[in-house]
Amino acid sequence: MTSDRERQHLALTRAAQLSSSYLDALDTAPVGATASLAQLRERLALPLSDTGVDPVTVIDDLARAVDGGLLGSAGGRFYGWVIGGGLPSALAADWLTGTWDQNAGLYACAPAAAVVEEVCGAWLKELLGLPATASFALVTGCQMAHVTCLAAARHAVLQRAGWDVHRDGLSGSPRIRVLTSQEVHGTCTRAIKILGLGTANMETLPTDDTSRLRPEALREALARERDRPTIVILQAGDVNCGAFDPFEASIRLAHAAGAWVHVDGAMGLWCHAAPELRPLLAGADQADSWATDGHKWLNVPYDSGYAFVAHPDAHRASMSHRASYLVHADDARDELDWTPEHSRRARGFATYAALRELGRAGVADLVTRCCRFAHELATRIGALPGARTICVPQINQGLVRFYDRRTGANDEEHDSRTDAVIAAINASGEAFFTGTTWRGIRCMRTSVSNWRTTTSDIDRAVAAAGRAIAQVALR
């Protein structure tokens, strides 16, 4: 008979073995998925067991069943979307987070987790160049960081207009407008929907040919409907070209008009850690709130995002919650005062580990290395026959397009050529990319955010692109 304690030990040991062998195989395993939807369903959709299954069997079966259904995004040749890896200490701390199983909503419920988050907040503000007085929250991702920051913004701009949104809601309130650029990320739009601000109250302003918001367009928009409470959303690093809005000029204009400025810095805020990239963020520290991610560039496992608010009162007013059965701390941090969650994962441990493992120089090196690799990837693939770099990365995001080289081929044919080459690279298992439609044309995005990526990974990805181009041309 196996005791509960032995079963626990065996399951954890098994998980550690499976994890190590998974990570060791990343270099040789196909990067894309190899199992089909039907296969995955067949393997996973077992009848719900009546009597339960031994824990080690559960873990073994699970690992076997998902084989081929996992993308190699933890590895160095995954360049799709914007996906970070997991640093060794962050991954290990993430395991311990599950083991310790703290409910990090209140200091009283998880004292060490509360202090770790306090420290993470201070470290992050310093690294990202944000005011030391800003409040912060560790949330599930940049999406919820937007929701957190924009909830504070909604409260603050309506309070200035004499309206208490927490008491009276949005029905009958002054109509908030949101000014942003046409490159705004969909998660900002979603936060606006979630917060009841309404996408019809959003105005997407034109950008220049480097995808930066034109301050002139912002000035004109602000001059219209001057009495409406206004939120301006700026971007630090868009997903296609890594564009940074001109913060200094935009924030000056917005503040002169009484608007709240929120910065989507999912990737771009990390550029503050690297001195040569820091100028891209000039003036961004003057904003009212900022959102970024831990699970992208910092290489903390999912789920990890960070919200920062320059006005702690507005932040706290929009999140804080009291109940007689809870125990509230006087001098410690109760996370539920700052997050849109109640019971929550002690996600600070993984961030704490990542920041300690890397240190200031390590974060700077991770950021510059990813930028250098993204540059190499986009320019070397763009130099292949039948390819062109459409956006040369200034940070870790770029665009490449593939051309149908038959005479008279049109844009539509170049579009399908681009999609076909992406599909052929992915099918080769050597690397993984995703596409986008940018200014009306299909492109392949080259996004590098993983600490594991090496020069040899870039060589392999470029070689795979060369083979894919030749293979598609022969069809």
Ligand X SMILES: *Cc1c(COP(=O)(O)O)cnc(C)c1O
How far is it, in rounded angstroms, from Cα 336 to Cα 321? 7
Residue window 76-115: x/- pattern of binding to ligand X, with contact defined by CB under 6 A:
------x---------------------------------
Tokens describing residue 331: 């001098």
Q: Does 264 bind ligand X (CB under 6 A)?
A: yes
Q: Does 234 bind ligand X (CB under 6 A)?
A: no
Q: What are residue 307's DSSP bridge partners?
A: 137, 291
Compare residues 264 and 337 and give the one whose CB is closer to ligand X.
Answer: 264
Q: CB 211 → ligand X: shortest distance, Å?
A: 12
Query: What is the layout of strands, in order, in the sheet containing 434-438?
Result: 387-391, 397-402, 441-447, 434-438
Count residues near ligand X (CB under 6 A).
12
Burial of 177 (0-12, 13-18, 19+ CB in 10 A): buried
Of 121, 301, 305, 340, which one interacts with ligand X (CB under 6 A)? Answer: 305
Compare residues 56 and 266 and give the one whose CB is closer to ligand X.
Answer: 266
Q: Does 287 bind ligand X (CB under 6 A)?
A: no
Q: Does 116 bind ligand X (CB under 6 A)?
A: no
Instruction: Compute CA distances 178 → 155, 252, 264, 391, 450, whole Å.
Output: 14, 16, 14, 28, 33
How far is it, in rounded angstroms, from Cα 416 to Cα 402? 9
Tokens describing residue 214: 């034109």
Of 254, 266, 384, 421, which one interacts with ligand X (CB under 6 A)? Answer: 266
Q: Does 267 bind ligand X (CB under 6 A)?
A: yes
Residue range at the interface with ligand X (CB under 6 A); choices 165-173, 260-268, 386-394, 408-416: 260-268
Compare residues 140 and 428 and give the one whose CB is closer to ligand X.
Answer: 140
Select from 147, 197, 156, 161 the least CA-distant residue to 176. 197
| Range 80-119 burial, b when 16+ CB lie within 10 A, else e | bbbbbbbbebbbbbbbebeeeebebbbbebbeebbebbbe
Compare residues 32 and 305 and give the one whose CB is closer to ligand X.
Answer: 305
Contact 401, 443 (CB under 8 A): yes
Of 73, 135, 181, 187, which one interacts with ligand X (CB under 6 A)? Answer: 187
Q: Does 242 bind ligand X (CB under 6 A)?
A: no
Contact 260, 283 (CB under 8 A): no
Question: Residue 257, Cα to own-chain centre: how many angstroms?
Answer: 30
Residue range at the interface with ligand X (CB under 6 A); choices 5-13, 140-148, 386-394, 437-445: 140-148
Q: Does 141 bind ligand X (CB under 6 A)?
A: yes
Residue range at the interface with ligand X (CB under 6 A); choices 51-59, 101-109, 139-147, 201-209: 139-147
Strands 289-293 and 387-391, bridge-based pairing? unpaired
Contact 106, 329 (CB under 8 A): yes
Q: CB 82 → ligand X: shortest distance, Å?
A: 5
Q: CB 189 → ligand X: shortest distance, Å?
A: 10
Q: Does 374 bind ligand X (CB under 6 A)?
A: no
Q: Does 142 bind ligand X (CB under 6 A)?
A: yes
Of 154, 185, 262, 369, which one interacts with ligand X (CB under 6 A)? Answer: 185
Q: How many CB atoms lie within 10 A of CB 470?
A: 14
Query: Where are any strands of DSSP class E within 297-408?
Result: 305-309, 387-391, 397-402
Compare residues 163 and 260 and give the one whose CB is closer to ligand X.
Answer: 260
Of 73, 97, 102, 143, which one interacts with ligand X (CB under 6 A)? Answer: 143
Which residues of this protein are in contact with ligand X, per CB under 6 A? 82, 141-143, 185, 187, 239, 264, 266-267, 293, 305
